[in-house]
Structure 1
Amino acid sequence: MSRVLEVAGLAKSFGGIHAVSDVSFTLDAGELLALIGPNGAGKTTCFNMLMGQLKPNAGTIRLLGRDIAGMAPRRIWRLGVGRTFQITATFGSMSVRENVQMALLSHHNRLLSLFADAGRQYREEAMELLALVGMAEQAERACGVLAYGDLKRVELAVALANAPKLLLMDEPTAGMAPRERVGLMELTASIVKQRGISVLFTEHDMDVVFGHADRVLVLNRGRLLAEGTPAAVRDNPLVQETYLGSGAMFAGEAS
């Protein structure tokens, strides 16, 4: 596999609080890597540094060999990093297709022609992405009337519009019913394997983590506590002790 992401010595402090300290990991093409940890472990801070919302105090973030640490989010997005959010970010008054077309227009740097003929541009490409995530039949519906699970699929199509090499997914199944969670992660895993996309995702549902991740990173108080296969992390006594002591989190009782 080709190495897509290399993070070394990543650190971020806010005043005297060390949110992330000396975090290092790698991610290969087509790999799903889960980033888990208790609330306040530093997961969101890591995500925000990878996407450019925060500038690291120390460390390197290499995307296909290029250091992107401290770059503006739009530059990072243009280099091939996509992101989905815990709370879906779509335009409710626009159709499903138009939401994806907007992302394609931005990717192709055509937003200046938005008010001229936006409805005709990249229509076929948008429909292909919607078919990929199982939303083609709902292409003309307004996003504001969709069920939450369907919105998550639309958001995935939008995130794929810039042909990402790396996809960051912040709690992709949050707010979804159990069956919807499984369906979305199975779909995501199929797409990333097919297209060779690397995925780093945070998730509180341990069934999702251990059922779909290739590897798992565990953060605690900003530091990397453990790394390995789902089975190895599940059985790690230190990980179990750090979470709840009883290991209840790994039985679907995460908060």
Structure 2
Amino acid sequence: MSVVLETRGLTKAFGGLVAVNDVSLQLHKGELLALIGPNGAGKSTCFNMLMGQLRPTKGSVHLMGEDITGLSPRVIWRRGVGRTFQITATYASMTVVENVQMALLSHNHQVLKVLPYAHKMHRDRAHELLEMVGMAEQADRHCAVLAYGDLKRLELAIALAHEPTLLLMDEPTAGMAPRERIALMQLTADIVRDQGVSVLFTEHDMDVVFAHSHRIMVLNRGQLIADGNVEAIRNDPRVQEVYLGGGTVFKSEDEAEDA
């Protein structure tokens, strides 16, 4: 299985505070990898280094074997890395389909050249992407009136417009109702399976993490303390101690049903 993303000794210090400390990870093609940890563990800092918003103090980031450390977010995006954020970022004055069309225009280097008639371009592909995320029926609604869960699905369609090899999702279900969280992550898992996209995501909802992750990595105080499948992480005493304070043990699905 080919390695899509690799970090080697990734470290970020802010003065005397080391937010991420010597993190090495690999993400393979078609893998859905969760990066979890308590608040302040370094997850968002790690994401910002992967996407170029922050330059590592030490270490390196490699995409498909190419060193992309220190490249700008735009250049990294052009290399095939998409990202969704904790807080959605869409054009509220535009319709759903127009938001996806803008992403497609950017992907095709057409934004400045075709703005006068941009609303006519790439509509079929935009509708295909909206169909993929369950938003086709809302294509002509303005984003300003959408429910938060629908905005999250639209943001996923926008990210997919760039045909990413790697998708970074920073707390993709934050602010969503439980049923919406499950639906969004099932949709993401389906995309991983059907298109071979590799996904690295952070998440606080353990039900979401355990239900959909192929593998889980755990950060604590900037350091990687565990890496394994769902059962390995569920039963790891270090994870139980730092993530739940040692007071609660992660339950399997069968145990949860019996409780």
Normalised to the residue count of structure 2, the TM-score between the two structures is 0.95
- Does residue 96 of structure 2 align to residue 102 of structure 1? no
For structure 1, the 5+ residue unaligned runs are: none
In the other structure, the counterpart of 2:152 is 152
* Change beyond 3 A, Cα 1:249–1:100: farther
In the other structure, the counterpart of 1:212 is 212
Summarize the alignment of residues 203-242 of structure 1 with structure 2, pairs less than 5 Å apart.
203-242=203-242
Q: Secondary structure at the match of 1:169?
A: strand
Summarize the alignment of residues 187-206 of structure 1 with structure 2, pairs less than 5 Å apart.
187-206=187-206
- Does residue 111 of structure 2 align to residue 122 of structure 1? no
Shift of 1:246: 3.4
Aligned 8 A contact 1:97 1:140 in 2: yes
* Change beyond 3 A, Cα 1:217–1:175: same
Question: Aligned Cα RMSD in Å?
Answer: 1.3
Shift of 1:41: 0.6
In the other structure, the counterpart of 2:87 is 87
Aligned 8 A contact 1:29 1:196 in 2: yes
* Change beyond 3 A, Cα 1:70–1:182: same
For structure 2, the 5+ residue unaligned runs are: none
Alignment length (residue pairs) = 252
- Does residue 132 of structure 2 align to residue 132 of structure 1? yes
- How many angstroms apart in 2 are the aligned matches of 1:134 and 1:246? 40
Aligned 8 A contact 1:51 1:76 in 2: yes
- How many angstroms apart in 2 are the aligned matches of 1:249 and 1:53? 36
Residues 89-147 of structure 1, C-alpha deviations (whole Å, 9 max, x = no match): 11111000000011111111111124221001111111110011111111000011111
* Change beyond 3 A, Cα 1:190–1:247: farther
Normalised to the residue count of structure 1, the TM-score between the two structures is 0.96
Residues 125-176 of structure 1, C-alpha deviations (whole Å, 9 max, x = no match): 1111001111111100001111111111100000101100000001111111
The percentage of aligned residue pairs carrying the same residue is: 66
In the other structure, the counterpart of 1:6 is 6
- How many angstroms apart in 1 are the aligned matches of 2:139 and 2:114? 19
- How many angstroms apart in 2 are the aligned matches of 1:30 and 1:138? 29
Q: Secondary structure at the match of 1:86?
A: coil
